[in-house]
Each structure stands twice: as C-alpha cells, then as structure tokens.
Amino acid sequence: MSIDVENYFECEEGQAKLYKLRNASGFGADISDFGGVVVSLFAPDITGKLIDVVLGYDDPENYIDNVSYLGALIGRCAGRIFTSKFSIDGKEYTVSQNAPEASLHGGNKGFSHHLYKSETYETPEGVVLKLTRTSPDGEEGYPGALELEVLYTVTNDNALKIEYRATTDAPTVVNLTNHSYFNLNGTGCNSIKDHQMHVNANTYTPSSENLKPTGEIVSVQGTVLDLTQSKMMKESLDELSEGFDHNYMLNDECRNLKVPAAIVSSLSTGIMMQTFTTEPAIQVYTAFCLGDSKLGKHGIRNAQFSAFCLETQHPPDSPNNPSFPSVILRPGEEYKQTTMYNFSIK
C-alpha cells in the first residue's frame, strides 16, 4: 500500500493537493482535496493492465470551474431542488438557482467547488484520505452550519469506498453523492455502447419538463428503463435519444452493502464494476449534456455518451416531495452514507 501527495493547483481558498492512494496490486485512485474530486481511478483489465476508468482533465485548473462536476463530491443537496425553495417546520428557505427553475447540486458553489482539510492514514482495510469542512449557516441559502467528513478508502480487494458523515446545528437538508463519470474501456474511449448494465431497481421516479419529478414512484416493467436484467448500453441508447438521466428507487435488499445496487461491465476490457450503497436511490446518467468545451485527458474532449454516472443518493427534489424518503437532518442526528465501487474481471 502507498500514499503519495503533490501540489496540484492554486485556488482562491489555497493550495489544492492531489493524493495518490494505491493498494499492493496497483489498484488505486488519485483524489484532490479540492471538491473531493476523483481525478483518476486505476483498475486492471483482463490482461492485468491498469486502466484509468474515470473521465477528467489533464489541466488541473479546469477543476476550478468543472461545470460538469467530473469526479466531484456533491452537496449540500444532490440533484435538483425545484423553484429553488423548500420548507422545514413551516419555514421557507430559498437556495441559489443555477439551473432552469431549480438549484442543482448544491447551487452556484456547492461542495464540488471548495477546498477541504485533509488527512491520510492506513487501516487493515486499505489506505484512506479523510476530507473535512464546515459548510457555514446560509451557504448557498441552506440553513445550519454543517460539519462534513468524507472518507475515501482504496481497499485491499480493489474497491473505492466513500463514506459520508455530517452533523448540523439547525434543521437542514442533506443529500450527498459523488459525480464520477465512468468508462470501463478507459479514458479516451468515447463510447460506452459495449457496456452491459444492470440496476437492482423495480421502480423509478418519472419526471416532466426540466427533469422535475412528478412525485410518483412507478414500475420500470415493460419500459426501456427496465435494467432489472443486464442490458447492452447500445440497445438502451439507441432507444433513448437523450440517454439515461433517471432516478431509480433501489430494491430494499441492496441497501446493506451486501447485494450490488448496480453492475456494469465492458465487453472490451472485461472490467466489471459493482456498486454497493446504503442509499435508497441511484441516478443513472449517460452524459448527454457533457459535450465539454475543455480538453479532457490525453487531449481528447469529453463527449456525449462517453461515460456513465451512478449517483447513489436520495431522489431529486426530495425536500419538496413527501412521498420520497426524507433528506432533513436535525441537531443531534448524524447523516451517514456509504457507497462502494468494487472492481473485478467478469
């Protein structure tokens, strides 16, 4: 196991660093203390060659803007809050609007665009990067000072585990996730059509214009969104003109970190990624809006449908939909969330 650190870039909050975490076999992740960004994630393919399976930028300063949230920690509330308003205990709060009719991924400067305090150490499970930060009361309009801790562990058995913890001094909403864009063929391969995907979810939350949830939870059976059996991405993307940007309600049995919430594999590299989570939902997104104007890794522009995201979270607009699991956190309570991306060969 190893942990290396280097200066990455300067931002308005100070010097950002890049932490390189590796296990004994070479599997590992490069993670920045700016935005908690997973810059690179190296997994072995069927030949044993290590492949970087997440999109990103060669120029570190591109993460300062990072409008597509590549690899980033998302908060205080992942997804969209429509009308940019919500109420807690009868009191209405207005948060910053940065999307049509909504506040998206925490607002104008969410958790994805801040510098964190950092610490590294080893455990019997693997090597760990701990990031901490206080989100002050009123930041982006959210009530309460939020104490945040995120642990990234590169495990001995080739998984990236992300553990989130948060406490507050006033009632607030919390919904955290990671926004890594995966391509199991490696960066520079601008298609995921040879990927197979399975999502352990019998239901999803339909949406209307601008991806606003209707508040319903309906069956995927008989629809193109049915991923209860493994399905080629080419088949799905040929049917969905804008690809996936859908929230699935996970089946109860896969919220204990024992049964995978999603399984994706590449026919080209043989890499299989199993996603485990304690969260009730997962946003499946296939990068329709990516089309990045900035150069990605290896001087290649990140393209539409060049990656997939599996954002483990509560459903979008949960603060305004009582039919969805609550995202309200109160003083004396602790927010906890764990997600694992486990890599092997199919």
**How far is 287 from 285, CA to CA, in rounded Å?**
6
Pairing of strands 91-94, 102-104: unpaired
How many residues would you count in the chain?
346
pLDDT in tens, 219-244: 999 999 999 999 999 999 999 999 99
Residue 210 has pLDDT above 80, yes or no: yes
In this predicted structure, what is the pLDDT of residue 294?
A: 83
In this predicted structure, what is the pLDDT of residue 295?
A: 87
Q: Of 109-113, 176-180, 260-264, 290-294, which range is least confident? A: 290-294
Q: Which whole number is the average pLDDT over 161-168?
A: 99
Q: Which whole number is the average pLDDT over 61-66?
A: 95
Known catalytic residues are: 179, 311
pLDDT in tens, 94-144: 999 999 999 999 999 999 999 999 999 999 999 999 999 999 999 999 999
CATH code, domain carrying 259:
2.70.98.10
Q: 209: which 2 tokens?
A: 């214009």
**How far is 326 from 340, CA to CA, in rounded Å?**
22
Q: Which residue type, as a one-letter code, is found at position 210?
A: N
- pTM of the predicted structure, to 2 decimals: 0.97
Q: Which whole number is the average pLDDT over 48-66?
A: 96
Q: Do 192 and 181 contact (CB within 8 A), yes or no?
A: no
Residue 291 has pLDDT above 80, yes or no: no
Three-state secondary structure call for residue 298: helix
Cβ count within 10 A of residue 108: 13
Q: Do 280 and 155 contact (CB within 8 A), yes or no?
A: no
Q: Which whole number is the average pLDDT over 171-193?
A: 95
Instruction: Outline where 156-314 has alpha helix (H).
Output: 233-239
**How far is 258 from 205, CA to CA, in rounded Å?**
24
Q: 67: which 2 tokens?
A: 């409008």
The boundaries of the domain holding residue 108 are 2-345
Q: Do 149 and 132 contact (CB within 8 A), yes or no?
A: yes
Residue 74 has pLDDT above 90, yes or no: yes
Three-state secondary structure call for residue 254: helix
Number of domains composing the chain: 1
Among 263, 46, 278, 288, residue whose Cα is nearest residue 181 = 288
> Higher confidence at residue 96 or residue 301?
96
